[in-house]
Amino acid sequence: MAKINRRAFVLANAIGLTAPPRRSFGRAPAVLRQSVKPIVISSANGHRFRNGGTQTCVELAFRRIVDGDDLLDALIAGVNIVELDPEDASVGYGGRPNADGVVQLDACCMEGSTHRAGGVAALEGVRTPSKVAQAVMLHTDHHLLVGSGAQNFARQLGFNIEADLNTDRSRRLWLEWKRRTDPNHYLDPNRTVAQSQVDSELLAETLSDTDEAYGTINCNGIDLQGQLAGVTTTSGLAWKIPSRVGDSPILGAGLYVDSQAGAVGSTGRGEANLYNLTSFLIVEYLRQGMSPQDAGLAGLRRIQENTREPRLQNSRGLPNFGVTFYVLNAAGECAGVSMYGGSNRTYALCTENGPELLPLEPLLDGTPND
């Protein structure tokens, strides 16, 4: 069969003709699913930040998929917008510093057809940890590199290493956190009385979205060939203990993808997700035939049932934290689900009809603090 260009390939799929699947070095060919249309789903910050450009994460990723670009490349290009935007306090440049004031980043990516994946954790000095995670997948026999070793790997592959990924905003908020948690040593020159405030008060005052306290973007997609992929990238829990690693770079927790079943990623309390490997669990529910919404809610229910420590429960005996999952199945159906709802609790979606923010489906009524 004669070769066709990308635009002709898209047109051929639209009218039901067949074309040979794209092949990449080291990647298994995907099975063509003619009825599946491209979709990109992400956390809400995937359709909130543009880094000074004209497109958000989901818009750019979707356009590149339709143009015939590699699926994972397209998704990573999308999250790069958020990683690089200093106005987003959840990932990459200007992300939440740890307790020592250092921005340490985690990321993971995965292909659904080959099950190849790469991850980095506690990486310092690189604004786009998702790209380093992809490099681990492409250039090593490993899945996860951490700390200084991950940074050395990035340097060896030509990534720019910066001394400090803080912005004025992230550094200012870290200093305010220090003043409130250690008022005897970090004095506020604008106050005559030292204050001792809990983290939640500062977060409520300074963050537009409580998800920024956990600091993550997940983005999953399906392409014209029916192949699935996903990427999750994060600065982790605000003011965490240095070298803390959450769920985002861990396969089965912050991300899991199988082109025969689905793609699932998470934001929220990473430890709760890690204890249950919930993204993998939800993919298995999809494999059993459950809808994306039902599978996602079932995963949240597992977290709820396994949250038994009193310190993690509210006055109703329910989880006092939030977790959200972004679920996409092999048929191109999707859902966003969360432990609790709220008027501003949304997820991002981009299809042939354009990008939009949609309400998350909650498992529980009320709020984590009820």
Tell me the catalytic residues.
216
Strands (DSSP E) contained in 164-277 are 216-222, 228-234, 255-258, 262-268
Count each helix (H run) and each strand (E run) in the chain, helices first.
10, 13
**Nearest Cα to 102, choosing from 210, 199, 244?**
244
Instruction: Take residue 366 and report the two structure tokens written for it.
Output: 């009320």
CA distances from 309 to 29, 62, 169, 236, 271 (A): 46, 42, 35, 22, 13
Please check whether residue 268 is in contact with residue 339, taking contact to mean a CB–CB distance below 8 angstroms: yes
Separation between Cα atoms, residue 66 and residue 74, nearest integer Å = 10
Which amino acid belongs to residue 102? V
- Cα separation, 317 vs 304, in Å, equals 10
- Are 303 and 278 contacting, i.e. CB atoms less than 8 angstroms apart? yes
